[in-house]
């Protein structure tokens, strides 16, 4: 096993974070020290000190532009589960908000995906309902990004497969809905690599082969483009070269039966400009020097994609026999394509807000609405005018609740359901022999209304039988049907 002796440096988190105050830094140092202390001796399956995992999770969050409590929760996300501390201790040091985030992350960790694609949508909804705070989902995504990156080192094939499936069917779509386009692509590629190693390797080889053939004219096109832009007086732009995500190319090639020679965005040049005006000027510069391919000019700045993606795409003849796609966007659009809504979510007094800097507030609202976060515009609320909008949590599943079996399997029930409904939903025999119920470890009466997230355990006795009272207490037609049948059977035995 490889042993890595270097130690994570908190400065690495500070240097990638977007806007930390001195107080934020004090908080993060405290979380760093606490987590290092708890995880200090543990070694991860990769051979590294376990502490690297929460550290890199937190560093991902800092890079996404998340707030300090979320970054702290990233550092602390495994201390209660794996470490030598208690929820009370963490609460006494770091307060309710951070414990709430850490707790949310461990609850999500208990939801297991069985790999059935038809269940994926309901599990994604369950994730959202369980998380209660959009930041919990983003912390879980940052955690998953690191886990997926280090998955090759995992000794168990079965576990690697499950994590890869979960990454593809649950996490990548969630990242997509948050506008984290780049992260969605990375997650899909990591999953693809483990789920279809052969196809993955083949597609990577195709990309490299095309890239090596085209590199010469892409590089000379890039130099010429840079010169032309500079000579027009536009400065401080960045031009970089990007390869298409492997999974997305694979889908394009196989699902649409396309020939890779006809795919012009295997390698693209990306121009990051200072503002929208410059983007259009750069488009003009390109089209006056190189002939564009008809039908390949897409203005996603004027007409953003449904997910909110913005950029201008054009594909031109490079003049030396090649064809190059160029994508032009502002810094802001670039950041948004990387991290979606993450940099704009902040909290104050236990409530979430969208920050003022958020450029596409309507879009963020649409995205959050998909997550069941309703936004009420209340300009001038809160004393700080940093905040434009306050988010109120609404229940996406107004009429449904999710409760858990002792093995953490989620059970979907109507809002006023009781332990009787729970038992009959699992199995009629469990219902018919129920003698009592525990909710979150405490004995309760059978007419107790269950609440979202409750852990329910049914106690049985062979001699126990349903009664007329149960029939009145049950809320689901399924439970009533079984109780009626059982009561009729008892009646007929008496006769
Ligand atoms: Mn973790």
Q: How far apart are CA 438 and CA 211, in angstroms?
A: 61
Model confidence at 131, pLDDT cuts 50, 70, 90, reads confident
Q: Out of 24, 82, 299, 457, which one is annotated catalytic?
A: 82
pLDDT over 90 at 275, yes or no: yes
Q: How far apart are CA 381 and CA 388, in angstroms?
A: 8
Q: How far apart are CA 304 and CA 388, in angstroms?
A: 23
pLDDT of residue 387: 35
What's the CA-to-centroid distance between 53 and ligand 1, angstroms?
A: 7
Phi first, then psi, for residue 155 (nearest 5°) are: -70, -25
- By the CB criterion, residues less than 5 angstroms from ion ligand 1 are 78, 143
pLDDT over 90 at 159, yes or no: no
Model confidence at 394, pLDDT cuts 50, 70, 90, reads very low
What is the chain's mean pLDDT, rounded? 85
Q: Out of 7, 81, 121, 385, which one is annotated catalytic?
A: 81
pLDDT over 90 at 442, yes or no: yes
Diameter over CA atoms, the chain: 101
What's the CA-to-centroid distance between 54 and ligand 1, angstroms?
A: 6
Asked whether the beta carbons of 323 and 317 are under 8 A apart, the reply is yes
Once rounded to an integer, what is the mean pLDDT over residues 296-311?
86
Q: Which pair of tokens denotes residue 136?
A: 């919990």
142-156, 224-238, 403-417: range with lowest mean pLDDT: 403-417
Q: Is there a catalytic annotation at residue 82?
A: yes
Model confidence at 386, pLDDT cuts 50, 70, 90, reads very low
What's the CA-to-centroid distance between 358 and ligand 1, angstroms?
A: 29
Asked whether the beta carbons of 469 and 407 are under 8 A apart, the reply is no
What's the CA-to-centroid distance between 140 and ligand 1, angstroms?
A: 8
Q: Which pair of tokens denotes residue 30?
A: 């405290």
Q: How far apart are CA 426 and CA 325, in angstroms?
A: 55
pLDDT of residue 257: 81
Q: How far apart are CA 267 and CA 104, in angstroms?
A: 39
Once rounded to an integer, what is the mean pLDDT over residues 198-209?
94
pLDDT digits (tens, 9 = 90+) for 244-270: 999 999 999 987 788 888 888 899 999
pLDDT over 80 at 307, yes or no: no
What's the CA-to-centroid distance between 51 and ligand 1, angstroms?
A: 10
Model confidence at 344, pLDDT cuts 50, 70, 90, reads confident
Q: Is there a catalytic annotation at residue 215?
A: no
What's the CA-to-centroid distance between 45 and ligand 1, angstroms?
A: 13
Model confidence at 118, pLDDT cuts 50, 70, 90, reads low
Tell me how far CA of residue 361 lies from CA of 336, 357, 379, 390, 434, in angstroms.
Answer: 12, 9, 13, 12, 51
> What whole-number percentage of the chain has pLDDT above 90?
55
Nearest-10 crossing angle of helices 181-195, 331-339: 40
Q: Is the dihedral of CA 151, 152, 157, 161 positive or negative?
A: positive
pLDDT digits (tens, 9 = 90+) for 69-100: 999 999 999 998 876 889 999 999 999 999 99
pLDDT over 50 at 383, yes or no: no
Strand partners for 312: 299, 328
pLDDT digits (tens, 9 = 90+) for 396-410: 444 667 788 887 777
What's the CA-to-centroid distance between 56 and ligand 1, angstroms?
A: 10
Q: Give the number of other CB atoms < 10 A from CB of residue 163.
A: 21
pLDDT digits (tens, 9 = 90+) for 120-130: 776 777 777 77
Strands 298-299 and 456-460: unpaired
Helices (H), 111-266: 117-131, 134-149, 157-166, 172-177, 181-195, 197-231, 246-255
Phi first, then psi, for residue 415 (nearest 5°) are: -55, -40
Q: Which pair of tokens denotes residue 311?
A: 């950029």
DSSP 16-81: H-S---HHHHHHHHHHHHHHHHHHTT-B-TTSSBTTHHHHHHHHHHHHHT--HHHHHHHHHTTHHH
Of 85, 117, 114, nearest to 99 by C-alpha is 85
For 476, which DSSP code? S
Exposed, middle or buried, 42 (CB in 10 Å: 0-12/13-18/19+)? middle
Once rounded to an integer, what is the mean pLDDT over residues 15-30?
94
């Amino acid at each position: 096993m490889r042993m890595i002796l270097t130690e994570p440096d908190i400065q690495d988190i500070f240097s990638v974070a977007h806007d930390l105050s001195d107080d934020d830094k004090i908080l993060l140092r405290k979380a760093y020290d606490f987590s290092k202390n708890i995880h200090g001796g543990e070694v991860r399956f990769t051979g590294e000190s376990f502490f690297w995992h929460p550290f890199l999770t937190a560093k991902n969050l800092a890079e996404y532009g998340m707030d300090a409590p979320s970054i702290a929760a990233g550092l602390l996300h495994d201390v209660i589960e794996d470490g030598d501390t208690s929820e009370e201790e963490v609460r006494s040091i770091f307060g309710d908000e951070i414990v709430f985030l850490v707790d949310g992350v461990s609850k999500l960790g208990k939801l297991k995906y069985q790999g059935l694609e038809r269940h994926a949508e309901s599990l994604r909804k369950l994730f959202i309902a369980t998380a209660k705070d959009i930041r919990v989902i983003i912390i879980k995504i940052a955690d998953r990004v690191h886990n997926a990156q280090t998955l090759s080192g995992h000794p168990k094939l079965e576990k690697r497969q499950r994590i890869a499936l979960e990454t593809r069917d649950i996490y990548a779509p969630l990242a997509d809905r948050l506008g984290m386009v780049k992260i969605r692509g990375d997650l899909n590629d990591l999953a693809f690599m483990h789920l279809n190693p052969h196809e993955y390797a083949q597609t990577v080889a195709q990309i490299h082969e095309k890239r090596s053939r085209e590199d010469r004219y892409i590089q000379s096109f890039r130099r010429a483009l840079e010169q032309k832009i500079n000579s027009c007086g536009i400065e401080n732009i960045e031009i970089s070269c990007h390869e298409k995500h492997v999974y997305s190319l694979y889908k394009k090639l196989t699902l649409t039966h396309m020939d890779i020679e006809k795919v012009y965005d295997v390698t693209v040049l990306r121009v990051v400009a200072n503002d929208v005006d410059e983007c259009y000027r750069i488009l003009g510069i390109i089209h006056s020097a190189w002939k564009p391919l008809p039908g390949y000019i897409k203005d996603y700045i004027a007409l953003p994609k449904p997910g909110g993606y913005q950029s201008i795409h054009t594909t031109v003849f490079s003049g030396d026999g090649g064809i190059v796609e160029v994508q032009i966007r502002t810094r802001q659009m670039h950041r948004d394509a990387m991290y979606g809504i993450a940099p704009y979510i902040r909290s104050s007094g236990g409530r979430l807000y969208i920050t003022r800097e958020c450029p596409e507030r309507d879009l963020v609202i649409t995205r959050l609405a998909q997550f069941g976060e309703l936004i009420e515009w209340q300009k001038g609320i809160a004393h700080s005018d940093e905040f434009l909008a306050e988010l109120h949590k609404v229940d996406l599943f107004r009429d449904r609740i999710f409760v858990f079996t002792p093995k953490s399997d989620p059970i979907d029930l109507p809002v006023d359901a009781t332990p009787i409904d729970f038992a009959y939903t699992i199995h009629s025999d469990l219902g018919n022999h129920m003698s009592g119920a525990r909710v979150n470890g405490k004995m309760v009466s059978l007419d107790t209304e269950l609440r979202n997230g409750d852990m329910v355990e049914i106690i049985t006795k062979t001699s126990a039988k349903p009664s007329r009272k149960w029939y009145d207490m049950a809320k689901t037609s399924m439970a009533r049907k079984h109780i009626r049948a059982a009561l009729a059977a008892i009646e007929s035995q008496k006769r």
